Amino acid sequence: MASPCKHLRKHKPDLVKVYKSLCERLVYPATFSDLSHKASFWCCLVCKSKDNPLLCCCLECIYFACLDNQHLKQHFDEKGHKFALSLETGHIYCSECNDFIYDRDCEYARRDAENAHRKLMGFSLNYTWNPGKQEVDQIKQARKRVIRMSSKTTYGLRGLVNLGNTCFMSCILQALTHTPLLRDYFMTDQHRCIPKGVDQCLMCEMAHLFQEFYSGKNTPHIPFKMLHLVWTHARHLAGYEQQDAHEFFIAALDVLHRHSRSSAMARNPQECQCIIDRIFTGKLQSDVTCMSCGGVSTTLDPYWDISLDLGTQTAATGFSDALLCPVDQAVAPASLADCLERFTRPENLGSSAKIKCGRCDTYEESTKQLTLRMLPIVACFHLKRFEHSSKLHKKINDFISFPQYLDMTPYTAIYRDHSAAPEAHQAALLSSRQSLDRIKNKYALFAVVNHHGTIEGGHYTCYIRQHVDDWYKCDDHIISRASLDDVLASQGYLLFYHKQFLDYD
């Protein structure tokens, strides 16, 4: 296939070999030796910067320079060169096009190099879909039937009538209906239910809710059937008293998970591939290390959300439906990053909680560390604002800052576990993992649920993202415009982040 860039076509025979070699050695090294070389070569020859994500290498003379600081342009002007390789992504930059360009042959070489590197790192491999002529023709025909919507369309925005202290449900339904992959699933009619179960199936009602939201109607929707089904299948939530939004979220996912399995039953229940597990399930790694012999006992547990403590008092060490965060007794967290750092910090279990070591065959003191083994597509963080103890019950109103974009790399097991590599290669290995995961583990905020009031009672509202940059506040049946500043300045109770880069099986 010819390159879309006319400037690359005549230079391609000479550049493709150089491109392939640089990809294999500097962008996606396949050996520990090349990892060390990569760490030493990654430096702009003008400003000496080592961490600029727009650092490039000239493909015609092997010159390293920053793209955003005009250093690469200066080199191109002096030497008359045109093409460079991004050391961050492996993509080709053309100075004549003033943009990164696509070439199928080079993309094949880049993907092969990336997979060899991922194998070295212990990651799963990436696969690509390259449509044939028949598939391309079908896509072109389908495009003619697509209804193009304005970026300012209000399709998908709809208020929900409060049926009596049901603001907690309204907020969670708004978050779910604005979850991109869940929307795509239901709007393409992928759920199949046995006929006799339709009236009792929460998945079917969820599909109906999506149809209502994207019908173009602007009158508030009355979710009476949704409420009835939740009461039927999660009886602890039945009744008109105020319920907890987080508790409703977990209960709703559980019922949706059970009802979706009728159309996506996994042979192994632990490896369910229903749409709920595909989107919301992650895996938590717990490493208990014997302080006597250094032996490590590792367990993996699935999770749908992560509950993060905000207080400074010692919390229970048990785990329930959500994951409880180990607490630093000295300083309360000020940001989501603080909470996550505390969550993945090693914790000394102390002499009162000795564990029998399989190696020592005796009860020994140990440390425990939680890390994220597998990241979900949608990450939900529950900020534990309601504190219950034997002495008091209160709501924690401390402001916890949270970002629009979140990099989950520092909290993953693969990031923390690089000690198996030879000591001489550890720094290069860690740098390479950071580079590889910088894109793959990035998340974008798309919904925030807030609680207003006290622990005795209050009201829930939420912010949801529509399109890329438009935010709206949902207060039951009232939908109003909001700014990103409004969202980030809110208190935050449930934070919903969507993965920006998806790996397709």
Q: Which of 208-212, 215-219, 223-227, 456-460 has the lowest mean pLDDT?
A: 215-219
* 6/130: higher pLDDT: 6
> Which tens digit of pLDDT belongs to each residue from 147-205?
666 656 677 899 999 999 999 999 999 999 999 999 999 988 888 776 556 678 899 99
All residues at 6 or more sequence positions from 319 whose CB lies less than 8 Å from its CB, including other chains: 301
At residue 434 the predicted structure's pLDDT band, cuts being 50, 70 and 90, is: low
The verdict on whether 167 is a catalytic residue reads yes
Which stretch of 49-53, 400-404, 472-476 has the lowest confidence by average pLDDT?
49-53
pLDDT band at 425 (very low <50, low <70, confident <90, very high): low
Residues of the chain with CATH 3.30.40.10: 6-121
Confidence tier at 419 by pLDDT (50, 70, 90): very low
What phi-psi label fits residue 476: left (phi over 0), alpha (psi between -120 and 50 degrees) or beta? left
Yes or no: say if 41 and 64 are a contact pair by the CB < 8 Å rule.
Answer: yes
| Interatomic CA distance for residues 186 and 180, integer angstroms | 10
Give me the pLDDT at residue 128, please.
67
One-letter amino acid for residue 336 of the chain: L
DSSP secondary structure, 442-493, as one string: EEEEEEEEEEEE-SS-EEEEEEEEETTTEEEEEETTEEEEE-HHHHHHS--S
Residues 6+ apart with CB under 8 A from 234: 251, 252, 254, 255
Residues 6+ apart with CB under 8 A from 215: none
pLDDT computed for residue 450 by the predictor: 97
- Boundaries of CATH 3.90.70.10 in the chain? 282-499
Q: pLDDT tens, 337-381?
A: 999 999 998 888 877 778 888 788 778 788 888 999 999 999 999
Q: Which of 11, 208, 459, 477 is catalytic?
A: 459
CATH code for the domain defined by 282-499: 3.90.70.10
Would you call 7 a catalytic residue per the annotation?
A: no
What Rg value do the Cα atoms of the chain yield, rounded?
26
Residue with tokens 């092997």: 62
Q: Which CATH number describes the domain made up of 6-121?
A: 3.30.40.10
- Of the candidates 57, 58, 106, 167, the residue annotated as catalytic is 167
Lowest-confidence range among 113-122, 164-173, 313-322, 417-426?
Answer: 313-322
Contacts of 386 (CB under 8 A, 6+ apart): 244, 393, 394, 395, 396, 455
